Structure 1
């Protein structure tokens, strides 16, 4: 696997190192030891599949608060997505900044999202499927979210949203919840 840290500390793209022959290719997509060697948390508490029938389906921006903040390792196994990760670490120099990625079955790229980040995506093709490896179990009382179109985030989505849940439309604007978000996301060690 090829680990590449993005401009936001802790967020990594993970490309496969394909071993090709006449049959096709073989590639490792997860290895606990390689994750640890690159400073990533290798714990997997649950695995999830997200199937999205229509192009323009938006999910997110989701996260869980500490002490059950999640790491996520995301791979697109069918179709393609435009993926967004937002830094919610108040002590970070990149607090509220975001990075975007194109993940697809074709490019085989994975994405590692550390704890205390929001994550969301919009599908670029019909019948898009993702696999998530999550570091903590889903805990409903710790879930949080931000509106995909929140002006404070300034995410430029590549196409119009066609399908979105009521829950994702009902997240409170960041300006109204930021003080609580900062308090609940704070830790004592600074992020470098």
Structure 2
């Protein structure tokens, strides 16, 4: 365990299953990304989104740790962790509020190792695309502690692009790679 990982700051107002829809619409900081996966079936997309590896393809993210349990369901607590610095691990405990396999996952953070996230809620929805494949609709809402009075919605367009880029890793995690993506490396075109 990292030195500061044992210190936790309780969320100021964890979201409930009943309050999640309203919070995700009215949170001071809110971002929403729709991302299409035309070559991925809905069940395959769900298997990545609901796994302990979600976001782990990013350089500093370790992913989620689920408890040893027979099933994941509302009320289950998992631990999300990422490496911030050689002596600092960011971790937050996440309580599953809604777990509808192949459809929707909603959770709220109950505590974290850094004090500035007061309230945190995320929703992942997966759905079939009429043209084939699947679509991920991801929404995150945060009420920041201490500086919550500052306007935060201006960050939304910037963070949407950051998260959109990050969601490209879903395809790699699933194993379908980045087919069709071409990049130039030292004057040569390389297929990835």
- Tell me if TM exceeds 0.5: no
> TM-score, normalization: structure 1?
0.30
The structure where helix makes up a greater share of residues is 2
Q: What is the TM-score with the length of structure 2 in the denominator?
A: 0.30
Structure number with greater Rg is 2
